[in-house]
Structure 1
């Protein structure tokens, strides 16, 4: 007699099991950041798509010596759980560097696993579904992602070659009543432009008048080609208490270390620590102690000066190679530091539509539409100049020029 659990009927085909995906990630099978790293890994493509430092420029011997020091003298602690706030030695070193522009104590520092996690921690701590965040137009695409997955609505604010326009920011605040404003004032990603001091003061006046907090993202500020320093908006009168200032070692030491920090004041510090604990408990202790040792024992400023001299040559190579190949009416930025320049080709061009042909020609860039919260410029592209030598840059730019000509 057959078992009640058995059946002579053939098994019915069924669809593969699929986990139910949260609405905030529905349809997101990839992301611009994930695609950047995929392009950068292709040996047949010269990629201008990602802000990926040239690994030959890493201070490898110094970093290795610092890891060795930490593991020999503090190995048990370095390999153990740590504090959500971050290890004291690193918070002290971070405070010391920030105090060159803005008096800061170790108690005002929260350590994150890079500035990208810092954005996610801040969004977790501050944002509710439906909140409005004002951003530059264009702005850093991964910040838009971090805020959007927390249910926020991004509104782009008009900009010019000096950054966000104070009058446009004032109007946007009056219209949208935002929860916060997110800005990258120095060597902005994606455009490379820098907000001058007078514009920073005007922006601060608007924020103070409307009592709106600021997230100031500054991962590139020390990559100045002429050695000049740009004090953060957070350093202006009245702004330190209402600003989350985010810094990173990724662009200065190495991105693989994944260490950054947030400077804040007041009760939000405790909320940031709680949010950090919920997301990742703590950043890697061995990496924190190694970065602290590096900042204590090595000359980061000298290393950065050496690297930015090379970056300046590469910027010149890319800008010089692009100038004769871009169509009439195109515009490119002239960054004074950082890792990126921005090209807008004009209304007749679609940078996304050109990308497949560019990759087939062995060169990649990041289409600019993904950097806009709304109303994207589809003719724009972000190009990073830091990864390759001037010779490689010029050859790849020549191939890119041929693709642009084909689409003109």
Structure 2
């Protein structure tokens, strides 16, 4: 087969690679405690409420729910999501500013399709979400990374890059509980970021916010979209981490012109999102308390995160650095220089624990001595046991 040249840019997911190694170990009779996934805990899905919402969909508008719908999204759901964005995120938007997409990953892909030409420059945090990087790559942009510190993106570094590179077209960021680092930008850093961005013309900011509502420590921070005065920010929201991921219901918030462009792309990509799933979510939002459900998620993840942090501090050897997140799903670990975390992964899986190597979360060459850990899917007993095992693996590598 003669494939398109863009396929040369597409790379396999490091997360999928870890899963294959785990599956091979399990197939041979072993067991693995996996901190590799970026998944919500399925035990926290509101199954009874979703079951009831599903039956209500059949009873109230079953035929419409299983028919074709609008490419833009179900009108009832769009209005409910717009209302939530107004009340929870302080955004001055209505339904015309929203588009329902199949997971926020589709929103990322559509952003690439409507904005990126070959050799345009995409700026991302160092490190950044590898799924976004892989979605951008087929359109052959150049990537530049911006440093981050404990307060978020370093705006002085960003300003320098923007001033020196007129071909910058897009900035992709996850300001809240970032994947993979777990970091969250302060309010001051967000305001400074928008001030820098507003100095330059024709730069779009993709604000990916799948974890923003999973805050279990600290004070809330505003979204970039709520600070946007020039229409530069395209916001991506999702039900995957706060309701269920399998429904694949997410949304884009942007100026109407951007939403209209994405709607045209969606017509050619898949015509529409799952109409029945949209009705399920709308029914849930109208009849149940999503905020109360999110509080349950926050409490559970808070306990697991604090337990993982406590165990890391107790058992990890000196010289290992790590973030201490205020929410979200991830902890970022930096090993001493000279340790290749990807090479160490085979030893870790053999010992009975798994993670994702951090080097794959960089658009360009990444730090090989980094690891992403997830604390949302394992039990408290598994968290303690897995961190103890990982600590021993790291100690052996440091000898």
Equivalent residues, number:
389
Q: Could you tell me which residue of structure 1 aligns to residue 160 of structure 2? A: 171
Q: Does structure 1 residue 149 correspond to structure 2 residue 138?
A: yes
C-alpha distance in 2 between matches for 1:86 and 1:255: 18
In structure 2, the partner of 1:289 is: 279
Match of 2:369 in 1: 379
Q: Does residue 6 of structure 2 align to residue 24 of structure 1?
A: yes
Deviation at 1:317, TM superposition (A): 1.3
SS in 1 for 2:315: coil
**1:75 shift after superposition:** 1.5
Q: Return closer, same or farther for 1:381/1:96 CA change in 2, 3 Å cut-off.
A: same
1: CA distance, partners of 2:238 / 2:14: 20
Residue 89 of structure 2 corresponds to residue 99 of structure 1: no
CA contact (8 A) 1:83 1:282 kept: yes
C-alpha displacement at 1:76, in angstroms? Answer: 1.3
Contact map agreement 2:218 2:326 (CA 8 A) in 1: no
In 1, are the aligned partners of 2:9 and 2:137 still within 8 Å (CA)?
no
Aligned to 2:178: 188
1:50-105 superposed Cα distances (whole Å, 9 cap, x missing partner): 11111111100011111111122212111111111111111111101110221220
**1:327 is matched with which residue?**
317
- For 1:268 and 1:55, locate their aligned partners in 2 and report how far apart those are by CA, in whole Å: 34
Report matched runs for 1:389-408 at 5 Å: 389-408=379-398
Per the alignment, do residues 313 and 367 of structure 1 end up closer, same or farther by CA in structure 2, a change over 3 Å counting? same
* CA contact 1:40–1:49 (8 Å) conserved in 2: no
Distance in 2, Cα, partners of 1:84 & 1:374: 35
- Alpha-carbon spacing, 1:300–1:39, altered in 2? closer, same or farther (3 Å): farther
Q: Which residue of 1 aligns with 2:108?
A: 119
Q: Which residue is 2:57 aligned to?
A: 70
1:140 is aligned to 129
Instruction: Report the Cα distance in structure 2 between the residues aligned to 1:364 and 1:90, rounded to whole angstroms.
Output: 38
Distance 1:40 1:259, change over 3 A: farther
Alignment-derived partner of residue 12 in structure 1: none
State whether structure 2 residue 208 is matched by structure 1 residue 252. Answer: no
Q: CA deviation at 1:391?
A: 1.1
Normalised TM-score (structure 1): 0.92
Secondary structure in structure 2 of the residue aligned to 1:338: coil
Q: Name the CA distance, whole Å, in 1 between partners of 2:205 and 2:126.
A: 16
- CA–CA separation in structure 2 for the residues paired with 1:287 and 1:201: 36
Q: 1:30 to 1:55 in 2, by over 3 A?
A: same
Is residue 205 of structure 2 the alignment partner of residue 214 of structure 1?
yes
1:10 corresponding residue in structure 2: none
Q: CA deviation at 1:40?
A: 7.0
Q: Over aligned residue pairs, what C-alpha RMSD do you find?
A: 1.6
Structure 2 equivalent of residue 276 of structure 1: 266
Q: Which has the larger radius of gyration?
A: 1
C-alpha deviation, 1:392, in angstroms: 0.9
Q: Contact 1:244–1:264 (CA<8 Å) still a contact in 2?
A: yes
Counterpart among 296, 308, 312 of residue 306 in structure 1: 296
- Distance in 2, matches of 1:310 and 1:288, equals 27
The answer to whether residue 224 in structure 2 is matched with residue 233 in structure 1 is: yes
Q: Which whole-Å CA distance do the structure 1 matches of 2:198 and 2:9 have between them?
A: 39
Pair 1:291–1:189, CA change in 2 (3 A): same
TM-score, with length taken from structure 2 = 0.94
Residue 75 of structure 2 aligns with which residue? 88
Gaps of 5+ in 1: 1-18
Are the structure 2 counterparts of residues 77 and 188 from structure 1 closer, same or farther at C-alpha, using a change threshold of 3 Å? same
Which position in structure 1 is the counterpart of 2:17?
Answer: 35
5+ residue gaps, structure 2, are none
| Partner SS for 2:199 | helix
Output the CA distance in 2 between the equivalents of 1:24 and 1:379: 30
Deviation track 1:369-393 (CA, whole Å, cap 9, x = no partner) reads 0111123111110000000111110
Deviation at 1:325, TM superposition (A): 3.0
